[in-house]
Structure 1
Amino acid sequence: MAEVREFALPDLGEGLASAEVVRWFVDVGDVITIDQPVAEVETAKALVEVPCPYAGVVTSLAGPAGTAVPVGAALITVAVGDQQGAPVPARAEAGPGNILVGYGVRAEPPRPRRRRLGGAAIPAPRPEAAPAAPTRPAGAHPSTRPASSPGPRSGLTGAPAGRGGAVGGVPTGSGMPVSSAGPVRQAGADGTAVAVVSPLVRRLARDHGVDLRALPGSGPNGLIMRRDVEAVIDGSVVEGVAPDHVGGGGGDLGGEFEPFDAPRRRAAEVFTRSRREVPDATCWVDADATALLAAKNALNAGGAEPRIGLLAILARVCVAALLRAPALNSSVVTDAAGRAVGVRQHDAVHLGFAAQTPRGLAVPVVRDAQDLTTARLAAEITDLTGTARAGRLSPAQLTGGTFTLNNYGVFGVDGATPIIHHPQTAMLGVGRIVSRPWVVDGALAVRSVVQLSFTFDHRVCDGATAGEFLRFVADAVEDPTALLRHL
């Protein structure tokens, strides 16, 4: 008799709460092998193929393409064993295969024994079980389970083998479904049921006095997500009022509603958190970039490959400046309540740079930039930009940055006050380079001028440190040869 195992969606990157299924590579009844990709999911502007660490027959999927699956919820369930219900191979019995680096598969808690009542198999009662939710009609897609819900996993159409029909030769559950119609619910203090949410979301709501019972959830089947609580805290959503009725005169405003896809939701969460938590400040300066353009042309003279662009030279300048001001290559450390308790300075410079893609803004990361030459920096930036535009950046290429370089001059603007990419503490912005009148040696001349802006977290440094950093960058732009002293 085959054993049904659940593979939960792993954490695909820092701080990610969910991923959206773009397409399935398998269907219920398919036989899969260890480490076979079963789905392509989208998160943080990246498409990732997720392999399953179990071999056997697929008994259920989290939902159709387009379903948002919370991290820790069931992505797929597999009846482990061959099609005749043979014993599980030794490798599969010993544990999962070589799943993606950094992913983990939780040890499954013991499942309660099932008893028969009126000819149908039902789970034995558990003392701590939440009130039962309505059963799902036969044939409906299973729901996903919040990461924090206790006891046996909900939302599975494939029960332990041994009763009812069979899928791909492997016995499955009987005629009574064990999946619920929505997220597992937990009774409030007054007996009102609310969608079960993660401990982090419950604590966030408690700390800010948000009543979860009056809050509509935006997650699968009404699950209350962190973004829902944050929207109430920020005032963009009113408790107990559907989003379509917020704003204006409080009535239905009409128009077409376009929900955020996974990348835009993730970006919105990062931007909102940065704006809410970071006391940022911005300083800026105009610099004569005439010599910088000349240096770029000299580096590319003779058709040398790879070509070195301005962004790569500015990346080299940023690295040199950060090595002189390590306080800006850091992140703020918070306690369990979210209070800032200190600053961690990072040994390596993992340089993120903003890249516009068909899927929106992405911030790929060049790791250990302090160890790369300008030519290597240029090659890395070119490769990552191409991967970003193809929508194929991996979570590792999108996370772990310690500082961001933002070249918004490509959009034809002179300056900006960008939002710091949380949990980083600083960002350098570069505007367009334009011809302007400039005083050179006491005489007026036409020069190529660029505006540089520097946004920083005021918790990690004061204006003096920020000013010294920006002045160093501006001096290197005006005289790139002076940078050789610091390389």
Structure 2
Amino acid sequence: MPDFKQFLLADTAEGLTEAEILGVRVKPGDEVTVNQIVVEVETAKAAVELPIPWAGRITEVLVEEGQTVEVGAPILTVDVDPGGGSASVNGSAPDEEMKPLVGYGSKTVATKRRVRRGTPVPEPEPARRPEPAQPAPAAKSGYVPLAKPPVRKLAKDLGVDLSTLAGSVDGVITREDVERAAAPAPVVRQPGARERRVPIKGVRKATAQAMVSSAFTAPHVTEFLTVDVTPMMELRERLKKHPSFAGVKLTPLAFAAKAVCLAAKRTPDVNASWDEAAGEIVYKDYVHLGIAAATPRGLVVPKIRDADAMSLPELAVALDGLTTTAREGRTAPEDMVNGTITITNVGVFGVDTGTPIINPGEAAILAFGAIRDTPWVVDGELAVRKVLQLALSFDHRLVDGQQGSQFLADVGALLADPALAITY
């Protein structure tokens, strides 16, 4: 006889409470295999593909695209024994062997429906001339419009519902498809309207909650330091020609990352966390370095695990991969939790410095400013040098002024004279 199981929304990241359904890739009657991707969701941290832990036949699809679902809520119903035998499909015991997802069980949780115009499903866009898109079978169960994140953003900005389009290039919706769809029916505001409203959700909602919590929980102190980094920039040019850096994108941020890791060993308080519930300060003997990255989905802070154990070339490679993945919206949720200290590179936007807010659970964050040609006094004479500004915000519960100042001074000294690294 049939053996029905419910596939529930898993807790794909620490602290996740809900997620938005981006697309359902199966429909009733479909046969599925173990670990087949059946649903894509968007959490407050990233877009995540969910595999199903059993083989069988889909009997019910319980959610729709655009719906917000709480952790533990049922998504699909699966008959894991469609043949009527006593064992599950593929010979596995239905209950004991396939439970890789958190949230497995029979709990029923209410869901909330939200309207969604576009959902990021990264797919490669073939390089051939697109043909006009045809209307998509929007009512077809399980239809997931395929489009790259920039195309989805364009559709959202133009008010185009991607579910009404079929992609012109192997099923992938292109920018031209969206522009054609928008042309005959552009978004028109009511006469005199000078406002527009956007729902607060996803990364923006999570960022807002985290920043408010941090600002009103941790007593922030920010200190500033201006540094002549001409020697660092000269070393960078030399290292770019060294065989160990062949094919490596060596940026000033890599030097800052190395300096933070070295300086944190001398001032471990900046790499600690405050455990209010336990009444303890937790000192970390490792550095999980967060790098704040601006993405189309908002601000995210992926981590470089054990950054303190990496060489400069390894850090440079890790930074390049991390930022590329973040901008493409492919950062895994587990890569954005449990950081110990963070760098925010405001210099990439041409900004000198700022007063960054500490990430919850951390003790400090360093703002790395723009490097500019600046008049500077060297050995009593005026010269043009490469100069940047650093700003360090720290939690005064954990870090006293002396400790914060020492850490910032150490980072500045390492950037001003990288040779000091051999003395640390």
| TM-score w.r.t. length of structure 1 | 0.66
Q: Is the partner of 2:92 in helix, strand or coil?
A: helix
Q: Is the partner of 2:369 in helix, strand or coil?
A: strand
CA distance in 1, matches of 2:284, 2:75: 35
CA distance in 2, matches of 1:88, 1:263: 42
What per-residue deviation string (whole Å, max 9, x for no partner) do you get for residues 305-353 of structure 1?
2132111111000000111111111221122xxxx72211112111111
CA distance in 1, matches of 2:197, 2:266: 49
Q: Of the candidates 219, 227, 240, which is equivalent to residue 300 of structure 1?
A: 240
Match of 2:347 in 1: 409
CA distance in 1, matches of 2:106, 2:286: 38
CA distance in 2, matches of 1:343, 1:300: 41
How many residues of Structure 1 are paired with residues of Structure 2 in the alignment? 340
Residue pair 1:289, 1:450 contacting (<8 A) in 2 also: yes
Indicate the RMSD between aligned Cα atoms, in angstroms. 2.2
What per-residue deviation string (whole Å, max 9, x for no partner) do you get for residues 90-134 of structure 1?
5142435263xxx4244548x9xxxxxxxxxxxxxxxxxxxxxxx
Quick check: 1:483 aligned with 2:421? Answer: yes
Residue pair 1:62, 1:69 contacting (<8 A) in 2 also: no
Match of 1:158 in 2: none
Match of 2:326 in 1: 388
CA distance in 2, matches of 1:468, 1:302: 32
CA distance in 2, matches of 1:465, 1:68: 44
Residue pair 1:55, 1:92 contacting (<8 A) in 2 also: no
CA distance in 1, matches of 2:238, 2:110: 60
Deviation at 1:276, TM superposition (A): 2.3
CA distance in 2, matches of 1:258, 1:290: 45
Residue pair 2:288, 2:306 contacting (<8 A) in 1 also: yes
Deviation at 1:79, TM superposition (A): 2.5
Stretches of structure 1 that go unaligned for 5 or more consecutive residues are 112-141, 146-252
Match of 1:104 in 2: 102
Match of 1:227 in 2: none
Q: Is the partner of 2:370 in helix, strand or coil?
A: strand
Match of 1:467 in 2: 405
Quick check: 1:439 aligned with 2:381? Answer: no
Match of 1:25 in 2: 25
Change over 3 Å in CA distance of 1:307–1:341 after alignment to 2? same
Deviation at 1:473, TM superposition (A): 0.7
Change over 3 Å in CA distance of 1:331–1:60 after alignment to 2? farther
Q: Is the partner of 2:406 in helix, strand or coil?
A: helix
CA distance in 2, matches of 1:309, 1:63: 45
Matches within 5 A, 1:339-354: 341-354=279-292
Q: Is the partner of 1:23 in helix, strand or coil?
A: strand
The amino acid of 1:298's aligned partner reads R
Stretches of structure 2 that go unaligned for 5 or more consecutive residues are 113-192
Quick check: 1:43 aligned with 2:10? Answer: no
What per-residue deviation string (whole Å, max 9, x for no partner) do you get for residues 350-384 of structure 1?
11111222222221111011111000011111111
CA distance in 2, matches of 1:10, 1:334: 28
Residue pair 1:25, 1:39 contacting (<8 A) in 2 also: yes
Deviation at 1:76, TM superposition (A): 2.2
| TM-score w.r.t. length of structure 2 | 0.75
Match of 2:230 in 1: 290
Matches within 5 A, 1:91-170: 91-97=92-98, 99=100, 103-108=101-106, 144=111
Match of 1:455 in 2: 393
Matches within 5 A, 1:189-338: 255-301=195-241, 304-335=246-277
CA distance in 1, matches of 2:80, 2:249: 52
Q: Is the partner of 2:423 in helix, strand or coil?
A: helix
Residue pair 1:35, 1:97 contacting (<8 A) in 2 also: no
Higher mean C-alpha displacement, 430-439 vs 3-12: 3-12
CA distance in 2, matches of 1:363, 1:51: 25
Deviation at 1:397, TM superposition (A): 1.6
Change over 3 Å in CA distance of 1:29–1:366 after alignment to 2? same
Match of 2:126 in 1: none
Deviation at 1:439, TM superposition (A): 1.5
Deviation at 1:260, TM superposition (A): 2.7
